[in-house]
Structure formats: structure tokens, C-alpha cells
Structure 1
Amino acid sequence: LAGDGLLHHAMEVMADACYNNPSKKTTGAMQAIAHGAGVHGMLIGQVVDVFYEGKPLEANILEFIHINKTAAMIRASLKAGAILGGATDAVAESFALAGEKIGVAFQILDDILDVTSTMEELGKPIHSDERNEKTTYVTLYGIEKSREIACKLSDEAISIWNELGEGSIFLKDLTEYLTKRTF
């Protein structure tokens, strides 16, 4: 229930911002976040994830879950930031696409670290996916192939930042940190 409360509080804060400063920017940012968190984003990803818990699933379902959970929120956050920053629709969509790639790469790396890291390094229990009988990229593809997929997605996101120019240097560096971390 705490998650439900925080999600609704976030919507309230965004609605207040739209009410107090009605503009295409604030409304667009709120729409991006609501979409990423709602039935076309994190919520449907969570529903499918819970439905398949303890059951085998295929790669396309796993990708759907990742795109609609972790990636949905990163995608929404980056798109909302771009909108609030005054980006064109095309640039905001580029931010969103980069966010999706970052989110899936981040989740794949999280799956890898669950197998290869220690509790001290991660700050959370390890091997939880195995204990919970969750299918991950590691269980489907192995560690090395999973790492290759994550690196490819990360490189594609970095390519988007490179295309957007010097103003994206921080996002490029952040992408490299998030998607190529070892802990």
C-alpha cells in the first residue's frame, strides 16, 4: 500500500503543478509520467511479472516485463524532463527511446549482478531471482550473452545522446554508469 500511496501522491504533486502553472509543458510531463506508471507501463509490467512468477516464460514476455516496468519509468522520467526543458516532440521521443534502452539494459545488468555479486557490494540479498524461481535474461541466455545484450542497448542509448550533441554529455555519462556498473 505504501507504493500505491506514493504513486498517487506523485500524481497529486504533478496535478498541483499543472493547476498552478497550466502549460503544455507541465501537462505533457504529467502525461508522460502517468503513462509510464499506469496501465500502459509499470502497472501492466507488474501484472505480467506477478502472473509469471514461478512459471517459465519466453524471451518476448521477459522483454515485455522489462520494457513495462523499469524501462517504463526511466523512459517516462527522461521524456518528462525533456518536455519540461522545452524540447521538441522529436527530441522528447529520442529521450524516451534512450530511456527504454537504458531501462532494459539496467534490468539485465541487475539480473547479472544478482548472480555474480555479493550482498556487501549490492546492498541487497543476492540470488533472489533463483529463490523466487524468476526467469531472467541470465537464465535464458547466460551471463555473457546477457552482458552483450545490455552493452548493445547501452551503446544504442549512448548513440542517441551523441546525436543530440554536447547538451547530453551528462546523460551519456550517466547511461554508461547505470548500464555498465559492476555493483
Structure 2
Amino acid sequence: MVTTNLDSPSTFDLKSYLADRRSQVEAAIDRILPVVYPETIYESMRYSLMAGGKRLRPILCLATCELLGADPAIAMPTACALEMVHTMSLIHDDLPAMDNDDYRRGQLTNHKVYGEDVAVLAGDALLAYAFELIATQTPQGQGGAQPQQILKVVAQLGRAVGADGLVGGQIVDLASEGTAVDEQTLTYIHMHKTAALLEVSVTAGAILAGADSFVVERLSRYAQRIGLAFQIVDDVLDITSTAETLGKTVGKDVAAQKATYPSLWGLEASQRKAQQLVSEANAELAGFDHRALPLMAIARYITARTH
């Protein structure tokens, strides 16, 4: 059973909510991914998976399930799977063939510790296990999810990760380096590379809670907007923050001549756009009760974060 601190909505504390949910997600991941033979691959998987981070995607999944009155424990396997997929994308993104980063979350990247060959395989293994986890560990029956709901989540996650999602965004991002891109192309990159996984984090929680298509569509629009705001803030932080604060190399977007929102609009306009997107996202939550507070607060947190 996932605990909640929403019983007193007037005193909702996002910091404690995030810490509580993050602790639950990390405990669940630790349980489901022990180190067994062959140890090297499991150690590599755990090295990146247990390296910290905001756990924003799994928390969004749990919060959405709870928003709709379901026990968020139903969504915990999917929440862990989402973090595995996200971690896979970071491991692969850091590889020399991609962004060639040496640091992630304040520590050496996976390929710097285990080598490129093991890092690629660790990402592959995390991706495969994510789907297995949803399919085999999601509670079913009375008080749980229905098989068709689980199947729908698996299908949506597959789409979010593949050529019509994260991979497609990454391909266009790589092809755009060193070239002038318009707003439409830049939005395509980030709606697929970043927002797609955040979107399925929200919609998966809704589907497992039994939401109808109208509610799922509203929550999808919420997630798309916070996903785009998240990327805009990332682009801004790459210019304004430090390696110590971010826990990774800064200024690499400029050095690689990557398309970013600040390069297109400037810093101030980018920050205004992120704030506008958050307002639009939270407008989609109008009509829900106090259980929407976490999603609303997370949207605001996205533009206020420093790392």
C-alpha cells in the first residue's frame, strides 16, 4: 500500500510528498532488481538506476493513479518500469556515439565505469525488463487492473519509446546539430524526446486507475505541456547553471550547436513560455478535487527547479 499525505490538502507539502514517493519507488526498484549472475550486467543496471534523480516519471504515474481514486500500489510496477526506461535513455544518451558525456547526476557515466559494450547492454536489459515488469507484476483482479488496461499501458509505453517517440526525437535532434531549425522542428524534437515519456507516465497511471478516454485525453494534454516546459527549463539550465549544481556537464548544447529554445527565442522568452505551459497544464486539472494538488505542484516545480 502506498501511503499518502493528501488527507490535509490545505497543508500539502510538495517537498515531503516528493521525498516520500521517491523513497517508495527506490525501495521497490531495489527489491525487484537484485544483483544475480551474471553480476556485471546487474551491477551496471543498478549503477545508473540507483544513482538518484528526481524520480519524476514514476511519481507522476503514482500521483495520477491516486488522483482518480485508485490505490497507487496498482501503478507501482509501471512506475518502476518508467524509471528503467528513463535510465536506459540516459545511459544511451551519454554514450560517445550520442552526447559523449562523462558525468551524470554527479558521478561518472555508465560507460566510463563499465565500458561502452556493457553500458549498451545495460540499457537494453533495463528496457526489456520494464515491459516484463508491467506485464507480470501489475496487481490484477479485485482492486487491481484489468488485463486490457495492462496491455494498453504496454502498447503506449512501446510507442513512447520507439521511432514515434523518444527514438524519433533523438534522431531528429542528432540530424539537427549544427543546422538552423525552426520552431516546428524544435518542438517535434522535444515533444518526442522528452515529453513523450512524461506523457505516458501520466496516462499510464490514469489507464490503470480505470479512467475513461475523456479524462485520459485531458491528462495527456497536461503532461504534454509539462513535458515541453521541462525541456525548456533544461535548455535554460544548460546555459545558466553550473556542473556542480546540475551534476553533469553544462554548456554542451551550445558546444554541439544543438537546437534549443534559448537559441531560438532567447532566455527570457524561453522562461516565459515555460511558465505559460505550466499554467495551461494546470488548467487541464480544473474540476478535480484536492487529489490534483500533487500534479499541480509538480507542474510549478518543473519551472522553479535548479537541477
- The two structures share one fold, judged by TM-score above 0.5: yes
After TM superposition, give the deviation of residue 39 of structure 1 in Å. Answer: 2.0
Rounded to whole Å, the distance in 2 between the matches of 1:87 and 1:53 is: 40
Q: Pick one of 136, 151, 166 that aligns with 1:16.
A: 136
Structure-2 residue corresponding to 1:130: 254
After TM superposition, give the deviation of residue 82 of structure 1 in Å. Answer: 0.7
Q: Pick one of 46, 53, 74 that aligns with 2:177.
A: 53
Retained in 1: the 8 A contact 2:173–2:259?
no
Retained in 1: the 8 A contact 2:246–2:306?
no
Q: Cα gap change, 1:132/1:146 in structure 2, threshold over 3 Å: closer, same or farther?
A: same
Classify the secondary structure of the residue corresponding to 2:164: coil
Q: Please report the RMSD computed on the Cα atoms of aligned residues, expressed in angstroms.
A: 1.9
What do the CA deviations read for 1:128-160 (whole angstroms, capped 9, x no partner)? 101111120000100000011111111111111
Structure-2 residue corresponding to 1:177: 301
Matches within 5 A, 1:13-162: 13-17=133-137, 23-162=147-286
Classify the secondary structure of the residue corresponding to 1:129: helix
Residue 170 of structure 1 aligns with an amino acid whose one-letter code is P
Rounded to whole Å, the distance in 1 between the matches of 2:127 and 2:218 is: 25
Aligned length: 183
After TM superposition, give the deviation of residue 17 of structure 1 in Å. Answer: 4.3
Q: Cα gap change, 1:162/1:179 in structure 2, threshold over 3 Å: closer, same or farther?
A: farther
Q: Which moved more, 1:101-110 or 1:153-162?
A: 153-162
Query: Structure 1 unaligned runs (5+)?
Result: none
Retained in 1: the 8 A contact 2:262–2:270?
yes
Retained in 2: the 8 A contact 1:109–1:179?
yes
What do the CA deviations read for 1:78-130 (whole angstroms, capped 9, x no partner)? 00011111211111121111111111100000000111111222121111101
Query: Which one has the largest radius of gyration?
Result: 2
Structure-1 residue corresponding to 2:125: 5
Rounded to whole Å, the distance in 2 between the matches of 1:52 and 1:4 is: 25
Retained in 2: the 8 A contact 1:161–1:169?
no
Classify the secondary structure of the residue corresponding to 2:211: coil
Rounded to whole Å, the distance in 2 between the matches of 1:123 and 1:154 is: 25
Residue 123 of structure 2 aligns with an amino acid whose one-letter code is G
Query: Alignment identity in percent?
Result: 37
TM-score norm. by structure 1 comes to 0.91
Q: Cα gap change, 1:87/1:116 in structure 2, threshold over 3 Å: closer, same or farther?
A: same
Retained in 2: the 8 A contact 1:75–1:100?
yes
Rounded to whole Å, the distance in 2 between the matches of 1:145 and 1:7 is: 36
Retained in 2: the 8 A contact 1:162–1:172?
no
Query: Structure 2 unaligned runs (5+)?
Result: 1-119
Rounded to whole Å, the distance in 1 between the matches of 2:244 and 2:285 is: 33
